[in-house]
């Protein structure tokens, strides 16, 4: 299998965003480790009225730092941006012409709860390339 080596260009938009997502993932691992090490919660076993059954209560002594949730958001945002940039590049390279403004704006990696919603890549009937197709009604 041959491929265009420019797909491996680490300065491309999708790689830059993926690398940034990886940076946030490493930071998140560090933040989560520090939070767990601070023993922010305790699990307490308590007897119940049912023989042989134990209830477990979670006692939280320290709330999760907001920095953890914002780092998760940064990670997800950069990962999604990497996928959107990759979708754009796949569409751009699949056409033998410049994309229209509408086509450029429609380029996004499809993440939705149903395959019937959003815009998706489809094989063009007039060429061997993949293009974005707008699903009717959306």
Q: Is residue 6 part of a domain?
A: no
Number of domains in the chain: 1
Strands 54-60 and 130-134: unpaired
Q: Is residue 65 part of a domain?
A: yes
Query: Which helix (H) or strand (E) is 90 found in, with range?
Result: helix 66-94
Domain extent for 79: 11-134
Give whole-number Cα distances, 108 to 30, 40, 71, in Å: 31, 39, 23
> With bands split at pLDDT 50, 70 and 90, how would you rate the model's confidence at 132?
very low
Q: Is residue 39 part of a domain?
A: yes
* Tokens at 10, concatenated: 């680490």
Q: Is residue 5 part of a domain?
A: no
End-to-end CA distance of the chain: 36
Provide the 10 A C-beta neighbour count for residue 17: 20
Question: 90-129, pLDDT tens digit by residue?
Answer: 888 888 788 888 888 888 887 765 555 545 455 445 444 4
């Amino acid at each position: 299998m041959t491929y265009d080596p420019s797909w491996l260009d680490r300065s491309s938009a999708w790689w830059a965003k993926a690398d940034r997502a990886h940076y946030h993932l490493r930071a998140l691992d560090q933040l989560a480790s520090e939070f767990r090490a601070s023993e922010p919660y305790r699990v307490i076993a308590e007897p119940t009225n049912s023989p042989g059954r134990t209830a477990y209560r979670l006692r939280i002594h320290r709330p999760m730092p907001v920095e953890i949730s914002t780092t998760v958001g940064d990670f997800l945002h950069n990962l999604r941006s990497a996928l959107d940039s990759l979708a754009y590049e796949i569409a751009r390279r699949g056409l033998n012409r410049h994309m229209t403004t509408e086509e450029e704006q429609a380029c996004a990696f499809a993440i939705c709860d149903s395959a019937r919603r959003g815009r998706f890549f489809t094989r063009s009937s007039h060429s061997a390339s993949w293009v974005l197709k707008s699903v009717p009604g959306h």
